[in-house]
Chains A and B, each alone.
Chain A
Amino acid sequence: MRHIAYLFLAAISPARVGTGALARPSRAKLGCCLRPRQLSIRHGLLGAALLTSIIAAAETRPHYGGTLRVMMQSATDALELPANTTPADYWDAARTLSLIGDTLVKLDAQGRPEPALAVAWQSDPSARQWQFTLRRGVKFHDGSAASPAAIAQILGTLHSGWNVRASADSVSIESETPMPSLLAELALPRNLLLKRNGNGFPIGTGAFLVAEWQPGKLLKLAANEESWAGRPFVDAVEIEFGKSLRDQAIALELDKTDVIEAAPQAVGGAQRHSTSSSSSLSLPVELLALVFSANSKAHDPRLREALALAIDRKPIQSVLLKGAGEPAASILPNWMTGYSAVFSAQANPQRARALLADSRQLALNLSYGLSYDPRDPQAQLIAERIALNAREVGITVQVSLSGAEDIRLMRVVLPSPDPATSLTEAARQLGLPQPGFPTTPRGNSLDDLYQAERSLLNGYAVIPLFHLPVASAGSARVRDWEPGRLGEWSEAGLSLADVWLTDRRLADSRPEAGSR
């Protein structure tokens, strides 16, 4: 209903008037065609008259102003996205930086590319040469133009292996190897087109610009009046870092914050029934897996397979994850590939014992150290459960954060809806060899993908356990926001730049408050 109202408003008033309670069209739906400066008094009066006529919808009418309060877990000291980081830090950095900068393209949940800074693109049949036509008139926060030359310079810095060239209104990217997944790659947060000022603050073309930065504690973002997608409704965004999920949940309940991260298992519990906030789960975009270290004592593949077969994933999912996520035996989730059922996640203790009987390592009576990320609240319990399952079949696994690490319980991000990109990225995070895809133009077919994933799983260097979603929650004052299904907060049409804030009194009375 709200979107219908926005479309209607857009049709009758393609511009906003000042900073008053004038609704603006969705940034995602209407793109760059709206500019606050283009509003005229005449149009404003006409819009006001029309709004008066639809007074019944006044309480849900978008309006400008307010500060959006956000809490995050990570306590990063730098506003950047490191190559190797934990999923929590990844999401926090990606969500934060995507408010500041833009990528050339975006992907929707189905992996289809959508324009961002680039409005059009094309490639040669070999996918070695790509050309992106840039959006005109876009400026960085420092006022400089987001010209093809500037964009090419940033991309060239990010990817030294690419040959990036700028032309009058476009940027071309060339590589010696085919780049069939270039669009998915460019949509990743690590390819946000950001510059750095003298203080090291990121300067982008996004809806918000950095106003204040207290490393590890607080980031204040101000609305970018010159944003090519239109000025965001909120005046500012304040992001508090270093808040645990529990603290965030409490703050949300006490109305001390507007948007938080949430534990997926918690989203299915108490917050689902809350009347003062809304929460949502993404698609499974993380992989929880056991990874054998390079110097692990458990080098016998039969032993590793026995461990994989010993783990009963269902109780872990139903009890410890409270139903969140999906038991997994593959790296990529089923929603990406559709074939994950081929990889069986069923426990088979008898088969595990039989394998162990054949394994010479069993006679050594070794104990294998299993480590986990102590910042992950579920990791310890899951690790202990795995150790218990392993003990049942005769494998001694000692859960410990110290000592020799043979096995690691890891959570990695599957950052793209493009399966090939996610598989490549997951292999990098898991320390596995890069998956081999055919270089022929037909590359990235489902069979190629399956073979690449299968080859990564052979030898049991990694034992996939679960595909997990990420969860977010927002208070009742946050309107028109729904976290993306890919875990980000900047998906097309679902960005925090599109939300507007209402006061609590109105939120409490709105009929649709609750879960979405």
Chain B
Amino acid sequence: MSFRKKLLLLFAATVLLCVAVISASVYSTIRRSFEQANQDRANAVAAQFRSEFQRRGLEVVRKVESVAASETVQHIALDMNRGATDSSDYVSEARALAGQQQLDFLELVDNRGTTLSSAQWQAKFGYPETAIPAAAGPGGAFLKREELADGATLGLFAVRVARVGEQPLYVIGGERLDQGFLSTLDIPAGTSVLLYQNLDAKWNPKSLLDLNGPAAGADKIAPLVARVRDTLQESQGVIHWTSDSADAEVFHAIPLTGPNLSSANQSGANRQLMGVLLVGSSRRPLIELQRQVVSTAMLVGGAGILVAVLASLWFAARVTRPVVSLAEAARRVAAGDLGAKVEVESSDELGELAASFNRMTEDLVQQKDRTLQAERVAAWRELARRLAHELKNPLFPLQVTVENLMRAKQKSPEMFEEVFHEGTATLLAEINNLKTIIGRFSEFSKMPQPQRRPTQVNDVVRSVLRVFHAQLQEKNQISVHTELAEALPEISADPDLLHRALQNLVLNAIDAMPQGGELAIRTGTLGDRVELSVSDTGSGLTQEECGRLFTPYYTTKQHGTGLGLAIVQSVVSDHGGKISVESTKEKGTTFRIELPCEPQPWQTGQT
């Protein structure tokens, strides 16, 4: 990834992070505020409920006291004290009295706890009302489960006693605690109130009421109510009515308890859960605000990223332009163009870097010139050494022969003729050597350009092996092994130069195996190239020798000129190929030549 892209990403990430942090902070703050507001609303509704509950309780007490003090009830109480046993006249009295006082429930119960008259269930006359004697007294209203013909319900009750004589007459009145009660509450917008009447041992969805009656989706409330039933403590939970989180509500569940009238313990400690008040606050405002925050953050973040991209593009371009120039110059230098310069526009670190680069290239040019100069000198020295070495060898016999001739002329004229003949023969031989040496140098300096034509490498190999057939036959210790690929494609090459190069390699291999061995020649394809390898099992070369092997005039042999492999490399290079050597000491050496099937474009004009 380029520096510019990295810089771009860094800028974008920075902007995004900032937006995310700010959004998260705002989100968190809003959430806390809403939760606090919800809690406050729930508390307010609960307080209002308790206040209404108390007010309605007092109202129930007042109505029941009015009933107990009514003339009708006083008459009935009087009849009871007179020992009247016929209660048939009272059956409808409770309903009439309840209607007068607008009470939902009203029962008249005699001193034995037997129902004389019931407004809510007229047929209940004669049945015992077990809860009454315990609840009777000057106390306030209380919650009580009330059995009706069509099922149980929850009510707010009060008990008063009409005492005319010795035998009391209990008056039990009450009002329903249901959706009608809920409708009297002043419920803030966005708030809902549910009432669960805890009438059954198990969860009953029909007992969950809202302002209109049985609440829909009651089963979603069940776990929250179950917690309250288990703990008798307030609880809180989020109810997701739909898959849209905005439709969710946070519900505060408040237990409503009443005296356990069926228990002997009436101290108040043993209280029974009669209902659960559920105050729900809609999460829609919170969710919508959160969504607004998120969308704004995304908008701002997107715009920020866009601005950041543009700014970073500009900034990165400004920052990286010298770097790019530097990189380009470096690439040119790497490609060999040591004259590449970086334009210095600033005086900052990048400007200093560019200047340093320019100085470095200048130093490199100077260094290269010096190196070339030194190499040239070294080459000339090597050439001179070679020439001196090559020429010194024939010169010494020449000198000795001439001195022998001169000595024979002076000291043994009789043997001069014989010495003369031997001496001239030696001189001619050495002069031929000198000519040969000079011819080789001349030949190396005059390497001809390849005359390309379709060439089958396998044919070249076979031709070379035919040349060396007799020599290899003499040296029986060297066996020849060939692996020539069938259907080897023809290449565009000069078969004579290839023959010469391969001849040198075979000759080197034979020289490397004075004690015999195996000569292996293999051909094959390597992609669009033809591969040719020549292996021997000779003494091998060191790593250093391998590195200097193709240097002209470098030889490891006693009488080599050091031009054989140089010529091979020159031929391979002229054909656009490459040559490599692998050697293991005491195991052998392998030369591997790769030649392109078609001439490279840049080779066509090569001279």
Contact = CB atoms under 8 A, between A and B. Distances in A.
B150 interface: yes
Greatest chain A CB density within 10 A among B124, B125, B126, B149 is at B149
A388 B149 contact: yes
A388 B86 contact: no
B91 A319 contact: yes
B88 A381 contact: no
Contacts of B150: 398-399
Nearest to B126: A315
B123 interface: yes
B380 interface: no
A336 interface: no
Contacts of A398: 150
A385 interface: yes
B88 A322 contact: yes
B88 A320 contact: yes
Given A318-B86, A320-B91, A398-B150, A388 B122 contact: no
A419 B91 CA distance: 35
A384 B119 CA distance: 13
Contacts of A111: none
A323 interface: yes
Contacts of B263: none
A270 to B, nearest CB: 10
B86 A381 contact: no
A319 B121 contact: no
Nearest to B90: A319
Residue from B123, B124, B125, B126 whose CB has the most chain A CB atoms within 10 Å: B123
Nearest to B91: A319
Contact of B123 (A318, A323, A388): A388
Interface string B83-126: 00011100100000000000000000000000000000111111
A319 to B, nearest CB: 4
A388 B126 CA distance: 11
B314 interface: no
A319 B149 contact: no
Nearest to B122: A381
B339 to A, nearest CB: 104
A387 interface: yes
B374 to A, nearest CB: 114
B88 A387 contact: no
Interface string B125-152: 1110000000000000000000001100
A381 B126 CA distance: 14
Contact of B122 (A318, A322, A323, A384): A384
Interface string A289-333: 000000000000000000000000001001110110000000000
Given A384-B149, A387-B149, A388-B149, A323 B88 contact: yes
A318 B88 contact: yes
A315 B125 contact: yes
Contacts of A384: 121-123, 149
Contact of A399 (B86, B91, B127, B149): B149
Interface in B148-179: 149-150
Interface in A420-447: none
A315 B123 CA distance: 10
Nearest to B125: A319
Interface residues of A, number: 14
A329 to B, nearest CB: 21
A388 B122 CA distance: 10
Contacts of A322: 88
Interface string A375-402: 0000001101101100000000011000
A388 B87 contact: no
A411 B463 CA distance: 136
A319 B88 contact: yes
Given A318-B86, A319-B126, A398-B150, A388 B91 contact: no
Contacts of A388: 121, 123-124, 127, 149
Contacts of B124: 388
B445 to A, nearest CB: 120
Interface string A28-56: 00000000000000000000000000000
A381 B88 CA distance: 13
Interface string A353-393: 00000000000000000000000000001101101100000
B200 to A, nearest CB: 14
A320 B90 CA distance: 10
A466 to B, nearest CB: 15
A373 B404 CA distance: 168
Nearest to A269: B89
Nearest to A383: B123
Contacts of B125: 315, 319
Contacts of B87: 319
B334 to A, nearest CB: 94
A190 to B, nearest CB: 36
A319 B86 CA distance: 8
A387 to B, nearest CB: 6
A388 B151 CA distance: 11
Contacts of B123: 381-382, 384-385, 387-388
A508 B149 CA distance: 48
Interface in A227-267: none
B361 to A, nearest CB: 101
B431 to A, nearest CB: 137
Nearest to B127: A388
Interface string B517-537: 000000000000000000000
A398 B122 CA distance: 15
B151 to A, nearest CB: 9
Interface string B59-91: 000000000000000000000000000111001
Contacts of A381: 91, 122-123
Contacts of A399: 149-150
Nearest to B150: A398
B150 to A, nearest CB: 7
Nearest to B124: A388
A244 to B, nearest CB: 16
A384 B118 CA distance: 12
Contacts of B121: 384, 388
Contacts of B127: 388
A73 B150 CA distance: 30
A387 B151 CA distance: 12
Nearest to B149: A384
Interface in A484-500: none
Contacts of A320: 88, 91
A371 B27 CA distance: 62
Nearest to A318: B88
A381 B123 CA distance: 6
Contacts of A387: 123, 149
B304 to A, nearest CB: 67
A320 B122 CA distance: 10
Nearest to A399: B149
Interface of A: 315, 318-320, 322-323, 381-382, 384-385, 387-388, 398-399
Given A319-B88, A381-B122, 16 more contacts: A318-B86, A318-B88, A319-B87, A319-B125, A319-B126, A320-B88, A320-B91, A381-B123, A384-B122, A384-B123, A387-B123, A388-B121, A388-B127, A388-B149, A398-B150, A399-B150
30 contacts: A315-B125, A315-B126, A318-B86, A318-B88, A319-B87, A319-B88, A319-B91, A319-B125, A319-B126, A320-B88, A320-B91, A323-B88, A381-B91, A381-B122, A381-B123, A382-B123, A384-B122, A384-B123, A384-B149, A385-B123, A387-B123, A387-B149, A388-B121, A388-B123, A388-B124, A388-B127, A388-B149, A398-B150, A399-B149, A399-B150
Interface of B: 86-88, 91, 121-127, 149-150
4 tightest A-B CB contacts, nearest first: A384-B123, A385-B123, A319-B88, A315-B126
